[in-house]
Amino acid sequence: MSLALEPSVGPATTKQVTRERIAGNVQRYGAAIVLGLLLVVGSFAFPTFPTLSNFTNIATQSSFLLIVAVGMTFVILTGGIDLSVGSVYALGGILAAYGSTWGIAGAVLLPLLVCGAVGILQGLLIAYGGMAPFIVTLAGLLGIRGLVFALTNEGANTPLIKDAAVTALGQGGMLGLRWPVVIAVVVVVIGSVLLARGRGSQTVLAIGGSESAAVLMGLPVARVKFSVYVVSGLCAGLAGALNAAYSSSGVPTVGVGLELSAIAAVVIGGTLLTGGRGNLIGTTAGVLLLTVIQNLINQVGSLTSSVQAVVSGIFLAVVVIIQTVLSRTQRL
Amino acid sequence: MTEQLSTAAPAPVLEARGVGKTFTGVAALQGVDFTLRAGESLALMGENGAGKSTLIKVLTGVYQPDEGQMFLHGEPASFAKPVDAQHAGISTIYQEVNLVPLMTVAQNIFLGREPRNRFGLIDFRKMQEDARSLLATYDIHVDVRRPLRSLALGMQQMVALARAVSIDARVVIMDEPTSSLEAREVETLFRVIGMLRSQGIAIVYVSHRMDEIFAICETVTVLRDGRVVHNGRLADLSRVELVALMLGRSVEKVKRGGVTAFGEVKEGEGEPVLTARDLSRKHQISGIGLDIRPGEVVGLGGLLGSGRSETLKAMAGVMQLDEGSLTVDGKRVRSGSVAAAIKAGVVMLPEDRKAEGIIPNLSIRDNIVLAALPRLSRAGFTSRAKQDAIVDVFMKRLRIKAASPNQVVSELSGGNQQKVMIARWLAMNPKVLLLDEPTRGIDVGAKAEVQALINELADEGLAIVLVSSELEEVVEGSARVVVLRDGSVERELRGSEVTEQHLMAALVGENHSPADESPAEIKERL
């Protein structure tokens, strides 16, 4: 049969497959490659950049966002979005500060319980109520921020953490790394194993890839969708608590816009915003990239934080353009 | 295979007794009796709206019947949701492949029941081995680590089938499984169906394609207006009898009507309204020339990949050309611009109605006037009265059956959706109408109406180019046929040459006489 003229809807040729594989790898590891380049360039350009203390700083600054972004990755992999994480992060911080009166257990468990509950509520509305994730979590973003202000007398109070064990959780560490960094690494490792080899994560990918197919295959679509929002809530709460421990206080205004940074990191990391494909190594690279860009701009000294925002924005736009091109090459 | 039924008939796997289903007062199914035996392949036939899809949905647990009872292996059964039917061994293969394109073949086959190691983690190696050996039992060899989307549609359909069967399916329901497959892929599908049947799996097959039905089905159940009007062996029916049963008309009446509803066709006269010269695009078409006169229907013949759809797309401005010119009424039309083509009076009815044509959630009115809106607007405001007038004219003229112009298009049958599409383009006052598979996927009755309409439009002086993968349609509907092969014009058939025989010969090329291949074989390749 002479199908030589059939346009590209047919079976892929070897050449196409190779090209698609390369495109797929660039999409997957592109953030890590760019990160490597930036580290090299930055090291040559600024003598103060490649120091141990600066790298430790970058790691600490990244750790909070990274934990949030891990949860966000799972949500985005299902094709959803969680806009509430910034507010939940602040809530986690406040609750950790209040909970620290019961020691380290209170400082960790109270935020996890309440933020997990926020995730449960949002997850129920989205997975079982069939509501749009964007709207439900937008309501979360507004409502939880309101709750944070209500808990802190319109934001006038900044509850402090006096328990030494709790502040040690933020500021202490091992092997020269602060605990938040260690915990973030543990979260990424656990998340990666689950994502690669866990059964539920197959359903996560299936939902993002084609929700109707997942339903027709009898997969537990609602249960898994529900779970990712709970995980996201827990991650945001944990990150908020660690940040509070690190700064010895629950600041009501932290985490404004954090959800956007998390989404940006996830997308830069190669996860498709439509879901179905992505990994946590990419997300980690995405988070580090955002932090390193900020750090490099700080190295220049004369530039303000607004420059950093502009550069990050341009960077994100470029990434999205490249991703679109790569997706087309792979006929996604 | 056919002996199976006549001799010791195996016990029924799935039965429905007196099943009825009513939607807001309209009975979609009434007293339907349905029996399916192990290893049987049953054709479920009926026009659109006859109740086929409702019955399938009842059998697969999407709908619950209002009355009657279903039996599985002789035991009363009811399915509250699709998963229940799946667990009971009833799997469905849909028209569109319902798998996850981004995931690998192996992942798709084992989604939801992945093999795990002792830590509870997925054992990918075992999964891939199992997937490979499962596919190998059906003689399908493919790299199971490849993402599903990188496979051809037919192969994807095969993976869906393998998945369905590996979940211990006893019944596989196939709803138009071949509508997006190529002939070769259909062959593989049929081979796999044969293997499934020899394993005692029962098949319910739904298709508009008569060739397929007669090729692989053994028994037939015909539905009309929600009732079973015939049950029996397919071998006892001729095609005409089957169509007569579906339509509820006498055999004589169907015969007299020919296979298609086209009336007399004649070649156009006078100056060509559309002249295409040397249309070329790398790897797709090369040096195609056409002259279309007012009042004639020109068939564009060709096998899949011959460039017939591409030629239409080139003329409609959808596809950018590397070379070539298009002239309408003596005026050159800029290539690669749909707007320029429409302005010149060339419009195209796309092949894929759902993806490229209708806007499903808009009303009939909005769908019809959509393309004409720029003409009906002044300073950005459109006149509702003018819209209503146009919509009214075309709904009457094309006999679009709908509750009102405000009905949402997705609620209409395929045939009526197609008429809405035609109306949209007629509202543009075109000179040339390019039709790509105008009757694909619509039922027999609506098909006849669309064919009659094409006739009428040509009589009124419209120039029409017709592409169809059904030979009869091209032969009976066109005054002359331009046959494409490998992206260029192979030959032109006129007058008495316009027969299926000549067309087939031209389709495969002259140095390849039709004697080498049986007509059925050539048809397969369309």
The CA-atom distances, in angstroms, between A309 and each of A290, A314, A316 are 10, 9, 10
CB B19 within 8 A of CB B34: yes
Q: Say which of B102, B146, B182 has its CB closest to residue A277.
A: B102
Rounded to 5°, angle at Cα B321 from B318 and B323: 155
Mean pLDDT of B103-120: 86
pLDDT given at position B308: 84
Q: Tell me, what's the pLDDT at B254?
A: 58
Which chain A residues have a beta carbon less than 8 Å from that of B310?
7
Residue contact B100–A12, C-beta within 8 A: no
C-alpha triplet A101, A105, A109: angle, nearest 5°: 105
Chain B segment 35-94 residues within 8 A of A by beta carbon are: 82-83, 86-87, 92, 94
pTM over 0.80: no
Give the number of other CB atoms < 10 A from CB of residue B117.
12
**Interface check B1 vs A, CB under 8 A:** no
pLDDT of B331 reads 86
Contact in structure between B47 and B97 (CB atoms under 8 Å):
no
- Name the E strands within B420-462: 432-436
Pairing relationship of beta strands B219-224 and B202-206 according to DSSP bridges: unpaired
d(CA B447, CA B466): 14
What's chain B's Rg over C-alpha atoms?
25
Per-residue pLDDT band for B6 (boundaries 50, 70, 90) equals: very low
CB contact under 8 A, A5 and B283: yes
**CA–CA dist B114, B246 (Å, integer):** 44
- What per-residue confidence (pLDDT) applies to B518? 52
Q: How far apart are CA A29 and CA B464, in angstroms?
A: 52
Per-residue CA distances from A8 to A93, B116, B149, B305 (Å): 52, 37, 12, 11
| Tens of pLDDT, residues B423-462 | 888 888 888 989 888 887 777 777 888 888 888 888 888 8
Q: What percent of chain B has pLDDT over 90?
A: 3
Whether chain A has a CB inside 8 Å of the CB on B128: the answer is no
- What gap in Å lies between CA B219 and CA B236, rounded to an integer? 9
Residue B486, chain A, CB below 8 Å: the answer is yes
Any long-range contacts for B211-217 (C-beta under 8 Å, 24+ apart)?
Answer: B211/B520, B211/B523, B211/B524, B212/B178, B212/B186, B213/B43, B213/B45, B213/B242, B214/B239, B215/B190, B216/B41, B216/B190, B217/B41, B217/B42, B217/B43
With an 8 Å Cβ cutoff, are B150 and A12 in contact?
A: yes
Q: Which of B100, B485, B489 is the best mutation test for A, with the most CBs of A within 10 A?
A: B100
Interface ipTM: 0.77
Spans in chain A with pLDDT lower than 70? 1-17, 327, 329-332
* pLDDT score, position B9: 64
C-alpha to C-alpha distance for B173 and A13, rounded to whole angstroms: 32
Q: Does the pLDDT value for residue B2 go beyond 50? A: no
Distance, C-alpha B512 to centroid of its chain: 29
Domain boundaries, chain B: 3-89+171-256, 100-169, 261-345+430-526, 361-427
SS3 content of chain B, % helix, strand, coil (to 5): 40, 25, 35
Residue A15, chain B, CB below 8 Å: the answer is no
Structure tokens at B110: 């084992």
Q: How many CB pairs under 8 A join A and B?
A: 102
> Does residue A88 contact residue A206 with C-beta atoms inside 8 Å?
no
Beta-carbon separation of A218 and B121 below 8 A = no
Q: Could A213 and B303 be called an inter-chain contact, meaning their C-beta atoms sit closer than 8 Å? A: no
A270 at interface of B, judged by CB pairs closer than 8 A: no
Reduce the DSSP state of residue B160 to 3 states and report it: helix
- Residue the block writes with tokens 């146009």: B390
Interface contact flag, A209 B100, Cβ < 8 Å? yes
DSSP characters for B78-97?
A: --SSHHHHHHTTEEEE-SS-
Cβ distance B152 to A10 less than 8 Å, yes or no, reads: yes
Q: Residue B163 and residue B169: Cα distance in Å, rounded?
A: 9
Per CATH, which fold does B3-89+171-256 belong to? Rossmann fold (3.40.50)
Q: How confident is the model at residue B263 (pLDDT cuts 50, 70, 90)?
A: low
Helix H or strand E segment including B354 = helix B353-356
Output the CA torsion B517→B523→B524→B526 (10° steps): 120
The rounded radius of gyration (Å) of the Cα atoms in chain A is 21
d(CA B350, CA B129): 42
CB A203 within 8 A of CB B111: yes
Q: What angle do CA A306, A312, A317 make, to 5 degrees?
A: 130
Q: Pick the residue from chain A with its C-alpha nearest to B83.
A: A218
With beta carbons less than 8 A apart as the criterion, state whether B300 and B432 touch: no
B contact residues 225-244, partner A, Cβ 8 Å cutoff:
none
Residues 6+ apart with CB under 8 A from B375: B428
Q: Is the dihedral of CA B245, B250, B254, B257 positive or negative?
A: negative
Tokens matching residue A286: 């995405």
What is the predicted pLDDT for the residue at B258? 53
Angstrom distance (rounded) from CA A151 to CA A162: 19
Residue B363 DSSP code: B
Nearest to A81, CA basis, from A278, A232, A294, A293: A232
Q: Once rounded to an integer, what is the mean pLDDT over residues B234-250?
A: 78
**A198 has a chain B CB within 8 A of its CB:** yes
Q: What is the pLDDT of residues B274-323, one digit of tens each?
A: 888 888 887 778 888 888 888 888 888 877 667 888 888 888 888 888 88
Specify whether the CB–CB gap between B170 and B201 falls below 8 A.
yes
pLDDT by residue (tens digit) across B26-49? 778 888 888 888 888 999 888 766
A202/B305 CB distance under 8 A: no
Q: Can you give the pLDDT at residue B510?
A: 53
Which distant-in-sequence residues (6+ apart) come within 8 Å of A113 by Cβ? none
Burial class (CB in 10 A: 0-12, 13-18, 19+), B10: middle
Contact A329, A273 (CB under 8 A): no
Instruction: Give me the CATH topology for the region B261-345+430-526.
Output: Rossmann fold (3.40.50)
pLDDT digits 0-9 by tens, B207-230:
877 778 888 888 999 888 888 888
Q: Which of B121, B149, B153 sits opposite A197 (nearest CB)?
A: B121
Q: How far is CA A125 from CA A229, A236, B28, B42, in A?
A: 10, 19, 34, 43
pLDDT in the model for residue A22: 77
Say if B3-89+171-256 and B261-345+430-526 have the same CATH topology: yes
The answer to whether B296 and B266 have CB atoms below 8 angstroms apart is yes
User: Cβ contact (<8 Å) for B100 and A5?
Assistant: no
If you average pLDDT over residues B373-398, what whole number do you get? Answer: 79
Confidence of residue B414 (pLDDT cuts 50, 70, 90): confident
Please count the CA atoms within 13 angstroms of the CA of B68 that sit on its side-chain side.
Answer: 22
Give how far Cα B314 sits from Cα of B317, B336, B464, B473, Å.
Answer: 5, 7, 15, 23
Interface of A with B in 207-246 (CB under 8 A): 208-210, 212-220
**For residues B415 and B445, is the Cβ–Cβ distance under 8 A?**
yes
Of B116, B120, B150, the CB nearest to A20: B150
Q: In a mutagenesis test of the B interface, which of A5, A9, A21 is the best target, namely the one with the most B β-carbons within 10 Å?
A: A5
Q: Which of B100, B149, B283 sits opposite A331 (nearest CB)?
A: B149
User: Do the Cβ atoms of B381 and B367 come closer than 8 Å?
Assistant: no
